[in-house]
Each structure stands twice: as structure tokens, then as C-alpha cells.
Amino acid sequence: MTPDDLSRVLAGLLDSLIERRRAEGETVEVAVSAADIVLERPKLREHGDWASSIALRLAKPLGTNPRALAGELAAGLEAVDGIASVEIAGPGFINIRLAAAAAGALAKTILDEGSAYGRGDALAGETINLEFVSANPTGPLHIGHTRWAALGDSIGRVLRAAGAEVANEYYINDAGAQMDKFGQSVLASIQGEPTPEGGYPGEYIADLGRRVLEREPNLLALDPDARLHAAREIAYDLQLQEIKASLARFNVVFDVWTSERRLHAVGADGLSDIDTALQRLRAQGHVYDEDDAVWVKTTDFGDDKDRVFVRGNGVPTYFAADAAYYLDKGDRGFRHKIYLLGADHHGYVHRLKALAGSAGDDPERDIEVLIGQLVSINGAKLSKRAGNIIELDDLQAWLGTDALRYTLARYPADSPLTIDPEVLQKRSNDNPVFYVQYVHARTTQLGKNAAASGVERSAFVPELLEHETESALLGALQDYPRVVARAAELREPHRVARYLEELAGLFHRWYDNCRVVPLGEEPVTDLHRTRLWLNDATGQVIRNGLDLLGVSAPERM
């Protein structure tokens, strides 16, 4: 029996109580669904498997006191197959203990569902555009991008696990003055000249210059304008491919790569996406002209000041591109847009929400802006190639993809983070990712040892799983689907990581107390066979959870 099963049972009991009161002439303005029933795992196992405070919440609307309502619900629960006992605690908490057979049956359910276990429909029907990283294509990805990549990809994974339709999107900032500075920097390197003022330094620029010449050997024979254009465009393509390769090695995949240049490009109708966006915002009634510039009245939607869309010289602003991009996402069918931005982008929160309102959307429903905080790694060295940053590629080569991804997903996005590389390189329980991965490897090895001893999953008798460590382990396994749904709803994949660490601890305690492989000449029994199901189910859930974090589940360590 799962928490969802219990929630449905409690909702059904409450529906019956409500109907009975109405039949007796009472006016009861209460409607209850399973989604309203919150179940929690008691901190102390002696209090049962699950607890609910629903009686405290609904007693007053139902015209009774919490303990009385809890008593009515307890009587109904005790008659349900699979529930061993129900106790009322304190002012009206309901503590529920499952029968061993009902709890143990979950092991088979997990293995029957396999990689689908934990996936649900909490966000079914939602279409979400998830934009993250979106670094300028003028240099390699750095440590900040590394955090946003790990978090963004993990958020996308838990959203999909909760039933949402999600597109991971990377916005390529490939228009504007920074691209010209980038091209000038590469060309200066090719021509043996100093880096131009405001340009990009670093050995990677010299490396790009060499590769540009390999692709275009006659570059220096071109006229100055053509030479700069070719250097910029070839270097841009090379750098973008490096960014894509770095992300792929980091196990991060984007479904859509959107170029800012596309928003500026003029179509057959003589209009760019930016021009069209201005027309659409003007039609919404939030555009005005003043001081030779075109403005959007974003203060109508909580922004601290109105935003210039087109400057007096006729050049669109960055805000104009943001507006066209936002509308483009909606045109592609994404009702909800999530932006994961760096710590230096706090000012974008009100701006983007005001933009949504100006476009006719609901700023509280249709757009979400998550701000990630800074991350540092003790002892990390600046990139030799880039000179002033710590590169993703260097971090990955030093600490490994699994350690980086797990650690970066283990903390909330808004939490500043300092990583200790010595801990991440330890093969001990002090290293959280090793601690969790080791459990998966142990479940795999235990399965092999069991097979060698003649223990197979040829019998399943769940009522035999009655040891206290088995009850605790099964309780945690029951909770996994709810953890995933909650992580998706709150955009907090760190909940999955912390859950896996708790599950790992419970597995170790079970492993120390309950044998799957018989000792010596002891015969194989159904208890051994049933425990093998529980072992394998735990490995499956660890594997499923690690996958949501983009981390591997090794079979040997």
C-alpha cells in the first residue's frame, strides 16, 4: 500500500462522513480529494508508517473537534485491508501502521514498474520551456555555468518524471557588441596584435585564431571588413561547438538552441521578430513613444521603471530581444516558461515578469525566474586557456561528472555553495555521491552472491518482511514517488539527492541485520527469496533517483 493509496482511502472516508452529515440535515461546505490529504513519515518508527493531520484541518468546517474526527476516521481505517493498526496522538494526529504483507508488496511493484517507478502525473498537461546556462558564445563555460547546467538539467528531469512536457532550451547570445569584440580579439591574435580594449584575453583566443586559419587559410588576404567577419563567424562556430561538446560530456542535453540573431533577422514581410513583438505589445496597450524612443510601460506590472524597447537612434535594446524571445516561446506552445539565471541577474526577475504581463500573460502563472547563487571550489585553479575563469572542462577532468553533478544538484539553487574537492575524491561515506552509488553497487553484488548461493526471486511472501529495518526501508521506498512529485512542483532536485542518502542509510542498517544469502549450510527459504526482492527493489529506486540527477549507478566500485 502506497501513500497515494492511503490518501485515496482517507478521502473516501471523509466523503462518506460529509455525505452522512448532509443526509442528517447539516450544512457542510467542504470538498475533499486525495490531493488534499497530506501524509508524513513519522520521525520515530514506533509511531507507525504514516501520519496525517487532516483531522486538525477539517474538524472545524465539519462542526466537530479534531480528536473526535480522528476517531471516526481511525475506525474506518482499521477496517481497511493492509492496515495493521491506527492510533490517535496529541490533539488529533492519526498514526497508521501497515500490515507487513501490504508494506512488503511494494517490493514487487517496484520491480514490475522498473525505471517507471516514481514517475507520475502531478504535472501532466503542463508544457514548460526551461531555459538555462545560455552563456555567450565568446568563451568556454565556467564554474557558474557548471552549476546552472547541473541544476537546470536535473530540474528538467524531475519535471518530466512528474508528467510535464519539457523542452530544455539554450539561448545563444550571438548578437551585439560582445560578438564584435570577440571577432576583433580573435583577429588581433591571428595578426599578432595586442588584445583590443574591452576584448577577450586568454590562450583560448589564440587557439581559436589558429583553428580559424586552418579553416580559412586565405583569411589575411581578404579585405579588412571581410577578414573581421570571417574571423568572427568561424570562431563563433568553433566556440559554440566546444560549448555543446562540454555540455554533452557533462550529461546535459538541450532540445532547442535559439539564436538571438534569428530575432533580429528580417523576414519576407520586411519585419523581424523584434518588430513583430513591438506590434503585439503595442496592441496590448502598454507601448508609448517619448523622447524619440519607444517604451514599454512595464511599471504597470511591478517593474521599477519602464523599459526602452527602441532607442532614439532606432536600435532595439536587449529588452526588445528578450520580449521577442518570450513571445516566441509562447508561439511554440509553451504556456509556462522557467528561466534559471545567475546570481548577477536579480534585476531580471521583475523585468521578465513585467514583460509577461505586458504580453497579456499572467506573471504569477506563466513565467518563473529562478536565481542561482555563486559556487566556489576550494583549491580550483584558474583556467590556463581562459586565464580568468575556472572552466567546466577542467572541473570535470579533476572531479568527475558524477561527483560534480550530484554535489551541485544536492543544494537549493538559491544557496551559496563551496565545494571541498578532498571530500568528493574520497571513497568513503563522507562523500555523499560515493555513499549513494556504493549502495547501488552493493545491491548488485548482493544479487550476484545470492544467485551463486541458489537464492532467486522464485517466491515472494511479503508478510515475511517484518523486521524493523525492513519496515523502515519499505517506508522509504513507498515515499519515493511523492519525493519526485514534490521536487518537480518546487523545482528542487536536491530533495531527490537527500532522499537517496536517507535511503542508503536505511539500506545499510537492513543489510547489517537481515541476510539474503544463507549462512553456511543453512537452507534457502522463502524469507531469503523475498529479501532478494527487497534488495533488488532498493537498487532500482537508487538507480531511478540517480538518473534524475544525471548521475550514473555503477554496478562495481
- Confidence at residue 276, expressed as pLDDT on a 0 to 100 scale: 97
Reply yes or no on whether the pLDDT at 431 is more than 70: yes
Classify residue 123: in a domain, yes or no: no
Reply yes or no on whether the pLDDT at 181 is more than 90: yes
- In whole angstroms, give the CA distance from residue 6 to residue 230: 65
- Confidence at residue 384, expressed as pLDDT on a 0 to 100 scale: 66
Residues 248 and 381 placed together within one structural domain of the fold: yes
Classify residue 244: in a domain, yes or no: yes
Classify residue 104: in a domain, yes or no: no
| Mean per-residue pLDDT, 418-423 | 92
Reply yes or no on whether the pLDDT at 523 is more than 90: yes
Structural domain containing residue 203:
132-261+376-425
Residues 173 and 230 placed together within one structural domain of the fold: yes
- Confidence at residue 41, expressed as pLDDT on a 0 to 100 scale: 86
Give pTM, 2 decimals.
0.92
CB-based contact 131:338 (threshold 8 Å): yes
- Confidence at residue 139, expressed as pLDDT on a 0 to 100 scale: 95
Residues 277 and 291 placed together within one structural domain of the fold: yes
In order of 144, 152, 385, the CA distances from 279 in angstroms are 36, 32, 45
- Confidence at residue 247, expressed as pLDDT on a 0 to 100 scale: 98
- Confidence at residue 26, expressed as pLDDT on a 0 to 100 scale: 84
Centre a 10 Å sphere on the Cβ of residue 429 and count the other Cβ atoms it contains: 13
Residues 176 and 235 placed together within one structural domain of the fold: yes
Classify residue 64: in a domain, yes or no: yes
Q: Which residues pair with 40 in a beta bridge?
A: 51
Amino acid at 457: R
- Confidence at residue 112, expressed as pLDDT on a 0 to 100 scale: 97
For residue 427, the number of C-alpha atoms closer than 13 Å in the C-beta half-sphere is 2
Residues 223 and 285 placed together within one structural domain of the fold: no
| Mean per-residue pLDDT, 387-414 | 92
Classify residue 113: in a domain, yes or no: no
Last residue of a domain, one of 354, 372, 390: 372
Q: How far is CA 347 from the centre of its chain?
A: 23
| Mean per-residue pLDDT, 208-223 | 97
Classify residue 109: in a domain, yes or no: no
Q: How confident is the model over 441-480, as pLDDT tens digits?
A: 999 999 999 999 999 999 999 999 999 999 999 999 999 9
Q: How confident is the model over 107-155, as pLDDT tens digits?
A: 999 999 999 999 999 999 999 999 999 999 999 999 999 999 999 999 9
Residue 136: which H helix or E strand, with range?
A: none
| Mean per-residue pLDDT, 285-299 | 95
- In whole angstroms, give the CA distance from residue 139 to residue 522: 64
| Mean per-residue pLDDT, 490-494 | 97
Q: How confident is the model over 16-63, as pLDDT tens digits?
A: 989 988 888 888 888 888 888 989 988 887 888 899 999 999 999 888
| Mean per-residue pLDDT, 82-87 | 94
Domain count, the chain: 4
Reply yes or no on whether the pLDDT at 293 is more than 90: yes
Residues 325 and 384 placed together within one structural domain of the fold: no
Q: Radius of gyration of the chain from Cα atoms?
A: 29
Residues 224 and 344 placed together within one structural domain of the fold: no
